[in-house]
Amino acid sequence: MENRKVRYGIISTAGIAPRFIRASLNTDNSVFTAVASRDLAKAREFALKNGLEKAYGSYDELYEDPDIDAVYVPTVNSLHYPCALKALEHSKHVIVEKPMTMTSRQREELFRVAEEKGLFICEAIKVLFLPTILEVKQIVDSGEYGRIRFLEFHQSYVESRYAGGWHKQKKHGGGVLRGNEAYFLSVCELFCGRIEKYVGLPAFGSYDVEDQMSVTLLLQDNVIASSNVSTDILFDNGLVIYLEKARIVIPDYWKARKRYVYQNGELVKTISHPVDYEMCYELQHYSDCILAGKKTSPVVTPEKSIRYIKITEEILESWE
């Protein structure tokens, strides 16, 4: 690692990848240098557009690059596991987009291999690093507005890439539950402690994955949390936290820039944390961990990542 910066290569030219590259500009420890695609022309075009030094026409070429310290995997969901495993086998640290894998067994295998090879691996759950979310956590923990009693999540994908393409195909790991479980479950436990019970209902349209879903959790201290996700209709997207003496509204909570506190129906406090590319906070953390020689993140722990996919597996099984 040169100049104490982690040098990243990207597997695929996925739509989220340019945002990660731009986010790295707001870190002091991360730099993206290469991209790989199964189409060399596509990789070269992506590299030119995003200021990368190298473009490869196969994933293996990037894995074998000695100047790459870590690999970022934002591929189709079903390819997360094989791409991450191949990167580990080539002695690269790995950041995997959520959902990290399709199964708990795959996830356990990745953590096992990383541990054996002395490498860092983590699932990218950016919401846990956002200043807005962490500030709300401080407010909740202060007890200023009493205890949390209910969490209400809404997320819709009417016009985004999640409303079509591979996101609507089971074989590629599509479906709104897989697309949201990491954020929803991790935020619930951040605010309220361990998940105790869970149940979910899907609505299927013309695809083999759910178009809509509603999942309800029972958390510690008898807190209820509900997540409602749709590719059919547009919600007022975000998270509402209902406390005994107030409610906190966080629009687009998964990329939160603002939050609002209401008491007795009146707005009493607004806080803003503007940022162009919110992935910069998680990327700073991952690179800090790699540079410190850590094998896992103390925030997005293997235990949490594995437990969340097991909850997802059980819910999906109940739908079948």
Domains by residue range for the chain, with CATH: 2-125+278-296 (3.40.50.720), 131-272 (3.30.360.10)
Residue 247 near residue 259 (C-beta atoms within 8 A): no
Quick: pLDDT tens for 133-153.
999 999 999 999 999 999 999
- 25 pLDDT exceeds 70? yes
Structure tokens at 20: 């990660």
The pTM of this model reads 0.95
Q: What is the mean pLDDT of the chain?
A: 95
Any alpha helices (H) in 14-79, and if so which ranges? 17-24, 40-50, 59-63
Lowest mean pLDDT among 72-81, 163-172, 290-299: 163-172
Percent of the chain as helix, strand, coil, to the nearest 5: 40, 30, 30
Residue 254 near residue 229 (C-beta atoms within 8 A): no
